Every structure is written in structure tokens, then in C-alpha cells.
Homo-oligomer: A and B are copies of this chain.
């Protein structure tokens, strides 16, 4: 059980849609669509991925980190450090 478990179906649906966007990108490249139109679709897929990440992170802090804070301070400390590293990677990608 993790923070996102209760919204699993929603995440699966969103990732399915992103998979469709990436397949759409392949079709666009294959059909020689105009570069800028491909870039617009790349930005849309990127934004959708980033928004999945922000959602996972929110639920991670709200559930996993909160549980650890209540029950195991050392574990909580480790988890917050991990979460910060994850935010760092997101901000830089």
C-alpha cells in the first residue's frame, strides 16, 4: 500500500493517455508532420507526465511520509530526503 494506491485507476488512465500521446508522436514523425506541431505535442505529454509526478509526490507526503512521522522519525527523515531528491530531479527535467 502506498500513497497513490487508492487512486490507482486514475493514474493508470492518465498513463494510458500519455502512452497514446507518445504513440501519436511516433505517427507524427512517421508522417513528416511539421516540426513545431510535434513540439507542441511533446510539451503536452511532458506536462501530463509532470502532473502525474506532482500528484504522486503529494500523496507520498500525505500518506507515506505522514505515517512515518507518526511512527518512525528516522524513517521519516530518510523519506523526506528521498522526496527532496525526487523534487530536484523533477525541477531539473
Contacts and interface: CB of A to CB of B under 8 A. Distances in A.
Interface residues of A, number: 64
A23 to B, nearest CB: 6
A62 B60 CA distance: 14
Nearest to A23: B19
Interface string A20-41: 0011011001101111101110
A70 B56 CA distance: 22
Contacts of A11: 29
Interface string A40-76: 1011011101101110111111101110011000001
Interface of A: 1-5, 8, 11-12, 15-16, 18-19, 22-23, 25-26, 29-30, 32-36, 38-40, 42-43, 45-47, 49-50, 52-54, 56-62, 64-66, 69-70, 76-77, 79-84, 86-93
